[in-house]
A and B are shown apart, each in its own frame.
Chain A
């Protein structure tokens, strides 16, 4: 039965990873920018959930409705105002630029919220559900369901909406889509905004489960990296597959080698994948 319990935990973890990575993967795939602020966006989303709950009494799933537009606007503004200026520059410049922005954002959070861990404690607590010998807290189920729904929503936006089709077109061929009348800078900003909104929402959901601190941003960012590479870049199904895969590997890896080796395992896996299968589990060959 232990196997099933671990599998269940792996799925919970995996769906959250998918939600963390979906926006990151979108930005990386469409803009060819690695957004090092992603982890800080997630933490900021957690603080938003914490503040909304403690000050206004809003449950985290309600705060999603605030987080999504707020983070979309933030991301849109950052892309429009700053990143679009250097979007054609080499990899190194965009990477270093987002690093600089992340230093600022993270420092601002440290000053505003201090490095203390905070915990969003739902009152009354949702309790837990047990089926046979399987036990799972209900807040985790809620977080899992919402993160999968959010990821599905992103998928549908990219698949069905006009803006989404334009984003995909820009990813496939920027010059051709410009010739077709797509306003590329604005699509870039929209894609970055969507990525930021996904990060903020993921942060809101994570606040229900994990303690909140600015120093957690690096580890969230690391997860996003690994999931993107495992699943394949720039596709929402890739993020889901990669997230679940990482969740399973980490959960069973902790069981087999001990929890202190989980990070080594995931980064080791990252290097192996980069070398053997850089296009990821679902990716197509040929994308750099």
Chain B
């Protein structure tokens, strides 16, 4: 039973990969963003959903990956090598940082992870020789070697989409593995998990690192895609908050729910943007409030009520 949602989600994602056939650059742009946010929401699920630590580190990982990737591409690295390197660098830094930060719980951890993004942004801002500082970083290299706008748009859509598939399956593997089981134990009762032999420090740090690696790779792709990044743009606090809202919208702790939440959220956001430009952030706020008050367990709880999934996994 529980695998049905998972395979359903995979099939839907594969179908989603046919988007370039529509030949609309607008659809491709939205689709690429949808994949990017879905990567963030699914990644966040590892630390926030499985482990129960309210991480606001997504913005830090994204900005870190974008700058790593951008600088490497400017040095002449090929795109995928740069993205891989950015992911690896994020993984290692998150692992080390996690050992220190994850000693904190609840609000304290939330604030510390938020502060990491702030510090990184300010450091990026002041390291002008390396990152271009407040002037931003230009990434003029065209990675596809083609001059056609549509070719490039399709290329980045597929790159982001493939990364989403990879992320989704990796997170699913984590969920089914001993690591995922340990993380859920930590969420339920950390001291008890420690007692029965789950090495909580290592497990939590691994969860934090896995929540960062794909986001950093997505950041590198983003940098190559938009050709120009600046600190307030890629270290935006909204990159930390939106994935959380998406995961909550889908249903906490479910990777398929996170993808669903990301797509639905972006769809609604796009509608709001188009129709209420002046008050779009207010409408989004209203959406968040209504969601939390009336659908606290997310959309996956609807399917549970209909008997599609058993238990708490999806």
Q: Which of A's residues lie within 8 Å of B, judged by CB? A: 28, 32, 34, 82, 85-86, 89-93, 95-97, 99-108, 111, 218, 222, 225, 229, 260-261, 263-264, 267-268, 270-271, 274-275, 278, 288
In the complex, the answer to whether B281 meets A270 with C-beta atoms within 8 Å is no
In the complex, the answer to whether A91 meets B107 with C-beta atoms within 8 Å is yes
In the complex, the answer to whether B111 meets A96 with C-beta atoms within 8 Å is no
In the complex, the answer to whether B115 meets A101 with C-beta atoms within 8 Å is no
In the complex, the answer to whether A271 meets B282 with C-beta atoms within 8 Å is no
Q: How far is the CA of A120 from the CA of B247 in the complex (A)?
A: 43
In the complex, the answer to whether A270 meets B285 with C-beta atoms within 8 Å is no
Residues of A contacting B108 in the complex (Cβ-Cβ under 8 angstroms): 229, 274, 278, 288
In the complex, the answer to whether B115 meets A288 with C-beta atoms within 8 Å is no
- State how many angstroms separate the Cβ of B35 from the closest Cβ of chain A: 23
Q: 17 additional contacts, CB 8 Å, given A218-B237, A268-B119?
A: A34-B107, A82-B293, A92-B244, A92-B248, A95-B107, A96-B245, A103-B285, A104-B289, A107-B280, A111-B282, A261-B126, A270-B111, A271-B116, A274-B112, A275-B101, A278-B108, A288-B108
Q: How far is the CA of A103 from the CA of B242 in the complex (A)?
A: 12
- State how many angstroms separate the Cβ of B50 from the closest Cβ of chain A: 13
Q: Residue B106 at the A interface, CB < 8 A?
A: yes
In the complex, the answer to whether A271 meets B122 with C-beta atoms within 8 Å is no
Residues of A contacting B114 in the complex (Cβ-Cβ under 8 angstroms): 225
Chain A residue with the shortest CB-CB distance to B241? A99
- State how many angstroms separate the Cβ of B1 from the closest Cβ of chain A: 27
Q: Residue B292 at the A interface, CB < 8 A?
A: yes
Chain B 252-273: CB-based contact to A (< 8 A → 1; otherwise 0) = 1000000000000000000000
**Which A-B residue pairs are the 5 nearest by beta carbons?**
A103-B285, A100-B288, A107-B282, A104-B285, A264-B122
29 contacts across the A-B interface (CB closer than 8 A): A86-B293, A90-B52, A91-B107, A93-B248, A93-B296, A95-B54, A95-B107, A95-B110, A96-B241, A96-B245, A96-B292, A97-B292, A99-B285, A100-B284, A100-B288, A101-B285, A103-B281, A103-B284, A104-B282, A104-B286, A105-B285, A107-B282, A225-B114, A229-B108, A264-B123, A267-B118, A268-B119, A270-B111, A275-B101
Residues of B contacting A263 in the complex (Cβ-Cβ under 8 angstroms): 118, 122
Residues of A contacting B237 in the complex (Cβ-Cβ under 8 angstroms): 218
- State how many angstroms separate the Cβ of A274 from the closest Cβ of chain B: 5
In the complex, the answer to whether B111 meets A274 with C-beta atoms within 8 Å is yes
In the complex, the answer to whether B105 meets A264 with C-beta atoms within 8 Å is no
Q: How far is the CA of A105 from the CA of B282 in the complex (A)?
A: 7
In the complex, the answer to whether B286 meets A100 with C-beta atoms within 8 Å is yes
- State how many angstroms separate the Cβ of B122 from the closest Cβ of chain A: 4
Q: How far is the CA of A86 from the CA of B119 in the complex (A)?
A: 31
Residues of B contacting A97 in the complex (Cβ-Cβ under 8 angstroms): 288-289, 292-293
Chain A residue with the shortest CB-CB distance to B285? A103
Residue of A34, A82, A92, A261 near B122 (CB, 8 A) is A261
Residues of B contacting A104 in the complex (Cβ-Cβ under 8 angstroms): 282, 285-286, 289
Residues of B contacting A261 in the complex (Cβ-Cβ under 8 angstroms): 122, 126
Chain A residue with the shortest CB-CB distance to B294? A85
Residues of B contacting A32 in the complex (Cβ-Cβ under 8 angstroms): 106-107
Q: How far is the CA of A173 from the CA of B191 in the complex (A)?
A: 22
Q: Which of B's residues lie within 8 Å of A, judged by CB? A: 48, 52, 54, 100-101, 103-108, 110-112, 114-116, 118-119, 122-123, 125-126, 237, 241, 244-245, 248, 252, 278-282, 284-289, 292-293, 296
Residues of B contacting A222 in the complex (Cβ-Cβ under 8 angstroms): 118
In the complex, the answer to whether A260 meets B126 with C-beta atoms within 8 Å is yes
Chain A residue with the shortest CB-CB distance to B278? A111
Chain A interface mostly: helix
Chain B interface mostly: helix
> B54, B101, B252: which has the most chain A beta carbons within 10 Å?
B54
Q: How far is the CA of A99 from the CA of B279 in the complex (A)?
A: 16
Residues of A contacting B296 in the complex (Cβ-Cβ under 8 angstroms): 86, 89, 93
Q: Given the known inter-chain contacts A101-B285, A264-B122, please indicate yes or no for A96 contacting B279, CB distance below 8 A.
A: no
Residues of B contacting A264 in the complex (Cβ-Cβ under 8 angstroms): 119, 122-123, 126
Residues of A contacting B286 in the complex (Cβ-Cβ under 8 angstroms): 100, 104
Chain B residue with the shortest CB-CB distance to A270? B115
In the complex, the answer to whether B248 meets A28 with C-beta atoms within 8 Å is no
- State how many angstroms separate the Cβ of A92 from the closest Cβ of chain B: 5
Chain A residue with the shortest CB-CB distance to B55? A92
In the complex, the answer to whether B115 meets A103 with C-beta atoms within 8 Å is no
Q: Given the known inter-chain contacts A101-B289, A103-B285, please indicate yes or no for A274 contacting B104, CB distance below 8 A.
A: yes
Chain A residue with the shortest CB-CB distance to B117? A267
In the complex, the answer to whether A96 meets B288 with C-beta atoms within 8 Å is yes
Residues of B contacting A225 in the complex (Cβ-Cβ under 8 angstroms): 111, 114-115
In the complex, the answer to whether A86 meets B292 with C-beta atoms within 8 Å is yes
Q: How far is the CA of A100 from the CA of B289 in the complex (A)?
A: 6
Residues of A contacting B293 in the complex (Cβ-Cβ under 8 angstroms): 82, 85-86, 97
Chain B residue with the shortest CB-CB distance to A218? B237
Residues of B contacting A101 in the complex (Cβ-Cβ under 8 angstroms): 285, 289
Q: How far is the CA of A275 from the CA of B123 in the complex (A)?
A: 20
Residues of B contacting A95 in the complex (Cβ-Cβ under 8 angstroms): 54, 107, 110
Q: How far is the CA of A225 from the CA of B123 in the complex (A)?
A: 20
Q: Given the known inter-chain contacts A82-B293, A97-B292, please indicate yes or no for A107 contacting B285, CB distance below 8 A.
A: yes
> A89, A103, A288: which has the most chain B beta carbons within 10 Å?
A103
Residue of A92, A103, A270, A288 near B48 (CB, 8 A) is A92
